[in-house]
Structures are given as C-alpha cells and as structure tokens.
Amino acid sequence: MPAKTAKIILLLGGARSGKSTRAQQMASSLGRRVLFCATAEALDADMKKRIKQHRRTRPQSWQTLEAPYCLSTALAPVVNDYDTVIIDCITLLVSNLMGKSRVSSKRVQRADKEINDLIDLMQGRKATYILVSNEVGMGIVPHFRMGRDYRDMLGKANQRLAAAADEVYLMVAGISTRIK
C-alpha cells in the first residue's frame, strides 16, 4: 500500500476576511495534535499586539512553531508528531523573504525555493496542512517596483500552492467558498 499523501488545504482571501479563524475551526475538527506555524515577526508595536491577540485565540493544547524563514527546514524534524499543521501565513513568509535581499532576482529565487521546499515537505508527510494566504491579485497595480514584485511573488506562490492543494477556499467577509 503506497504511503498516504498529505492533505493540503489553502485558504485565500483579503486582509481580515476570516482566514485565520476558519483555519483554526478546521484544525479543531481534524485532529487532536495541532501545530500552529507562525511566520510573523514582531518588528513593531502593532505587530507585537497582533501576534499577542492571535496567540490568545488558539487552544492552549496546540503547539506553536515560529518560523519566519526556512519554513520546511523548521517543520521537517517535528511535523510527524502532529495530525494537523496550520501555516499562518504565506503572505508574511513571502514578505519576510523579500526583506532579506535588495536584488529582485534573488528575492524571486528565494521565494521559489521556499515554496518548492514547502510543497515537497507537505506532499511527503501524513498530516493535514492548512495554509493561510492573502489573495493580492484583485486590487490595483502597486505604484512602486517593490510592491509589484511582492504582489507577483505572492501571486505565483499562491498559484503553486493551489495547484498542489487538495482543497482551496476563498474567504470573503468571514464566509468561505470552496473553489477547488
């Protein structure tokens, strides 16, 4: 019998559309052993406050792994200990990677590698993965080059993750619509 392939669920939507709340609801119903993988970095007072609020919404029995970079490397040694892994969020992961290089081509290479490594990890494990990411392709074209690069990198990452996912949902105003 072949090894079980990981189930991958991608939740896409705008800011404050209910993605994180929905991810937590799904995880609560899927398994006892949940790992919450946070990609945010507390770089200012507002982000520190948001992280603190996010922590309060999670059950205390869940474990947290903070991995703003090298996500698959951080997950690999522990992922088999969990039934469900939430990755919140791809949006910040790509943003973090952008900040590591001033050269556009290096940013793209770094993001591509990170997403490829994550897909490889998820496809080789038994846990259910719930990924949260912002849909940034429905807005205006950013005025500055870095904004356009970011939108393009995240859009491509979302496309690749959606292609690898078993289920994809679009979140709007707290309502999820299955699109795959």
- Give me the active site residues, please: 54
Rounded to 5°, angle at Cα 101 from 40 and 108: 85
CA distance 52 to 83: 25
134 DSSP β-pair partners: 13
Tokens standing for 102? 């001033």
Q: CB 98: neighbour CB atoms within 10 A?
A: 20
Contact 154, 10 (CB under 8 A): no
